[in-house]
C-alpha cells in the first residue's frame, strides 16, 4: 500500500511543479508561513461554495475557508456581485466615501459594545492599533497576553504565541509584554502587583481558534471583573470569533462588553479588510482636536491607503447584512455539530484515541486521548495535553492524509465550517477523517 507521502506526491503533481518554481521567488517558496508543507504545499486556483480546486483539477472540500474568513463560503454570488459592481466604479477614490459610513453602521448594529470604529486591512493591523490606543488612553506601557494566543505578527503580539518566533524583537518590547496562562488568580496577582499594565488582550474562546479552550462561560466574566477592578482595559481579539461564534462575536454570545475589539476579514465579507472598535473615549485617542500639542504629538495616528476601500466596504456591507438577516450562523453551527458527531464516531470506529470539540462552527480534532467528562463545546484540555496530542508531525500528516482523501483541514487542527457546506460534504468529510486515522495508524504516527 502506498504511503501518505507517496499518494500526496502523485495526486498533486502539478503543485509539486509550481512549488519548484516558487522557491526561486519566495523564502521557502511561500507567501504565508502557514502554507509551508513538506514536501510541498498544494496550489489552488479557484473555489466555489464549500469546495475548491487544485492545479491537477482535484475537487477538495475546504475547511480552511480563507483562514476562517469565508463564513458564507467561496465566491458567494451576492458578495461577488457587490465587489464587481463597485470595482467598475473605482477601487480607490482618494477620499472619504459613503460606503465606509454604511459599513460602520452594519458593524455597530451587530456589536453593541462598539461606539466608534476604524477600518484597517488585517487583523494584525487591528490588534497593533488597539494596543497603541490602550497605552495612550491609560498612560501605561505594558500589555498582558495569554500563552499561545495569537494576535498577529507585530512585535507586541509575538511573545509566546506558539506560531511566530520572537526573533529580533527588542528586549525593551519583550519586557513590556507579560504572558501567563488564562488562570484568573494569576491574572489578578499580576494586575495587583504591576500598576503599569494598560490592557489584557486575548482570543475570547481560547488560543488558535479555540484549540486551547478557556471555559468561556466562567473565565470571561471573571476576567472582565478583574480588569475593571484594576483599571486595565480588556481587548477582545475577535479576528477569528467575530461574527462567527455568534452574529455579534464571542462578546455577544457570552454577554461581555470589552473596552476594545478587533476583527478580521469576516467583517469585510472575506475581502482584505478588518476593523477595530470600542468605547468612544478610547477611540477618541485618534481624533483631531485642533490643538498642536495633541494633534501633532499626543494623538494616535493611523494610516492605511486601502482602509475601507470601496470594493471591500461593499463586501462588508453585503456580508454583514446577510449575517444580520439570515440564519447564516445557525446553518454553519448545525453543520459543525454534524461534523463533530461524525468525527467522534470515526475515532471510536477506527479505535484511535481522540475526540472532536469546538465552539459554534469551529471543530477541533484532538489526537491521543479519549474525552474527559465535561462540556464538549468547551472541554478541559491542558496545554500539555494539547501539545502532546497535536504535535507538528501529527498535524502535518493529518493535513496531507485528509488532502489525499479530498478534504483540506486548516493546519490539521481546525475545520472552519461555512454555511455553504452541505450535509453530503460533511458526511464525506467524516469518511475521509476515518480513512486518514487509519492511514496515520498504519504508518505509526498515532
Query: Is pLDDT above 70 for 53?
Result: yes
Sequence-ordered list of residues with C-beta below 8 angstroms from that of 255, at least 6 positions apart, any chain: 221
- Whether pTM exceeds 0.75: yes
Distances from the Cα of 413 to the Cα of 42, 57, 146, 239, 367, angstroms: 17, 25, 19, 17, 10
Here the cell at position 105 is: 453602521
Look at phi and psi of residue 368 and say left if phi exceeds 0, alpha if psi is from -120 to 50, else beta: left
Greater confidence (245 vs 1) lies with 245
Question: What average pLDDT score do residues 26-53 get?
Answer: 95
Per-residue pLDDT for 116 more than 90?
yes
pLDDT attached to residue 374: 67
pLDDT at residue 378 greater than cutoff 90: no
Detail the DSSP E strand segments found in 191-322: 197-202, 233-238, 260-263, 274-278
The cell for 175 is 519586557
pLDDT digits (tens, 9 = 90+) for 165-199: 877 888 999 999 999 999 999 999 999 999 999 99
For residue 375, is pLDDT > 90?
no
Q: State the angle between helix axes of 392-404 and 423-442 in degrees (0 to 180), rounded to the nearest 10.
A: 120
Distances (CA, A) of 231 to 171, 176, 195, 197, 320: 26, 17, 9, 9, 33
Q: What is the pLDDT confidence band of residue 134, given thresholds at 50, 70 and 90?
A: very high
pLDDT at 376 over 80: no
Rg (CA), the chain: 22
Q: Assign 325 a pLDDT band (cuts: 50, 70, 90).
A: very high
pLDDT (tens digit per residue) in 270-313: 999 999 999 999 999 999 999 999 999 999 999 999 999 999 99
User: Is 223's pLDDT higher than 70?
Assistant: yes
pLDDT digits (tens, 9 = 90+) for 414-434: 999 999 999 999 999 999 999
DSSP string, 172-209: HHHTTEEEE-S-HHHHHHHHHH-TTEEEEEE-TT-HHH
Kindly list the structural domains of the chain, giving each domain's residue range(s) and its CATH number in brackets, ordered by start: 4-74+327-442 (3.90.1150.10), 77-325 (3.40.640.10)
Mean pLDDT of the chain: 96
Amino acid at each position: 500500500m502506498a504511503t501518505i507521502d507517496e499518494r500526496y506526491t502523485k495526486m498533486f503533481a502539478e503543485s509539486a511543479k509550481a512549488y519548484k518554481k516558487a522557491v526561486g521567488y519566495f523564502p521557502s517558496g511561500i507567501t504565508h508561513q502557514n502554507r509551508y508543507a513538506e514536501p510541498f504545499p498544494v496550489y489552488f486556483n479557484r473555489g466555489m461554495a464549500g469546495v475548491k480546486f487544485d492545479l491537477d483539477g482535484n475537487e477538495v472540500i475546504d475547511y480552511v475557508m480563507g483562514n476562517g474568513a469565508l463564513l458564507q463560503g467561496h465566491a458567494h454570488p451576492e458578495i461577488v456581485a457587490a465587489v464587481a459592481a463597485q470595482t467598475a466604479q473605482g477601487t480607490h477614490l482618494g477620499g472619504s466615501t459613503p460606503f465606509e459610513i454604511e459599513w460602520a453602521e452594519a458593524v455597530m448594529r451587530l456589536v453593541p459594545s462598539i461606539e466608534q470604529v476604524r477600518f484597517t486591512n488585517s487583523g494584525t493591523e487591528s490588534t497593533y492599533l488597539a494596543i497603541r490606543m490602550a497605552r495612550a488612553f491609560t498612560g501605561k506601557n505594558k500589555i498582558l497576553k495569554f500563552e499561545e494566543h495569537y494576535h498577529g505578527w507585530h512585535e507586541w503580539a509575538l511573545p509566546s504565541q506558539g506560531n511566530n518566533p520572537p526573533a529580533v524583537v527588542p528586549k525593551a518590547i519583550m519586557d513590556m509584554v507579560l504572558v501567563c496562562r488564562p488562570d484568573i488568580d494569576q491574572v489578578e496577582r499580576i494586575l495587583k502587583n504591576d500598576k503599569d499594565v494598560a490592557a489584557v488582550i486575548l482570543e475570547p474562546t481560547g488560543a488558535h481558534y479555540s484549540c486551547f479552550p478557556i471555559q468561556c462561560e466562567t473565565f470571561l466574566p471573571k476576567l472582565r471583573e478583574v480588569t475593571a477592578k484594576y483599571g486595565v482595559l480588556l481587548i477582545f481579539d475577535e479576528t477569528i470569533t467575530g461574527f462567527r461564534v455568534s452574529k455579534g462575536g464571542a462578546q455577544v454570545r457570552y454577554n461581555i462588553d470589552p473596552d476594545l475589539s478587533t476583527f478580521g476579514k469576516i467583517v469585510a465579507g472575506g475581502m482584505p479588510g478588518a476593523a477595530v472598535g470600542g468605547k468612544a473615549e478610547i477611540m477618541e485617542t485618534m481624533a483631531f482636536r485642533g490643538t498642536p500639542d495633541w494633534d501633532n504629538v499626543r494623538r494616535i495616528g493611523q494610516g492605511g491607503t486601502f482602509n475601507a476601500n470601496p470594493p471591500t466596504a461593499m463586501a462588508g456591507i453585503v456580508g454583514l447584512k446577510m449575517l444580520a438577516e439570515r440564519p447564516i450562523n445557525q446553518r454553519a453551527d448545525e453543520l459543525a455539530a454534524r461534523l463533530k458527531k461524525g468525527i467522534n464516531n470515526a475515532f471510536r470506529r477506527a479505535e484511535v484515541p481522540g475526540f472532536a470539540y469546538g465552539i459554534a462552527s469551529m471543530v477541533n480534532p484532538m489526537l491521543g486521548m479519549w474525552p474527559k467528562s465535561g462540556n464538549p463545546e468547551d472541554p478541559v484540555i491542558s496545554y500539555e495535553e494539547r501539545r502532546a496530542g497535536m504535535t507538528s508531525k501529527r498535524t502535518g500528516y493529518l493535513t496531507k492524509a485528509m488532502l489525499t482523501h479530498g478534504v483540506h483541514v486548516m493546519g490539521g487542527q481546525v475545520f472552519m465550517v461555512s454555511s455553504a457546506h452541505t450535509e453530503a460534504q460533511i458526511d464525506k468529510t467524516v469518511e475521509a477523517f476515518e480513512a486518514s486515522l487509519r492511514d496515520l495508524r498504519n504508518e505509526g504516527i498515532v
